[in-house]
Amino acid sequence: MTAHHVTDDTALNVVTWHVSTYSGSGQNCVEHGRRLDGIELVRDTKARDQGTLAFPTGSWSAFIEAVKQGAFPALSTAS
């Protein structure tokens, strides 16, 4: 999976950002957004000004499916 670091907010063209439902109390939040061209974006809620990672849709979908299938057990047990 290839990620690109995006720092120019005007280039993001995000329709809506969503906070992960797994973030719980908000101590370890990430946000997900989708650009108008379909590129998937991820950023740290507490450090939005630190940039955004951009992934092709296919790579992002494969990552999410792998997490759901338990390929990253440490992510499943994070609290």
State pTM to two decimals: 0.67
Residues of the chain with pLDDT under 70: 1-15, 22-27, 75-79
pLDDT at 2: 55
Q: What is the pLDDT of residues 30-52, one digit of tens each?
A: 888 888 888 899 988 888 888 88
9-14 contacts: CB < 8 A, separation 24 or more?
12/41, 12/52, 13/37, 14/41
Helix (H) or strand (E) holding 57: helix 57-68
Instruction: Put the strands of the sheet holding 14-19 in their side by side order.
Output: 4-6, 52-55, 40-44, 30-35, 14-19
Beta strands in the chain (DSSP E): 4-6, 14-19, 30-35, 40-44, 52-55
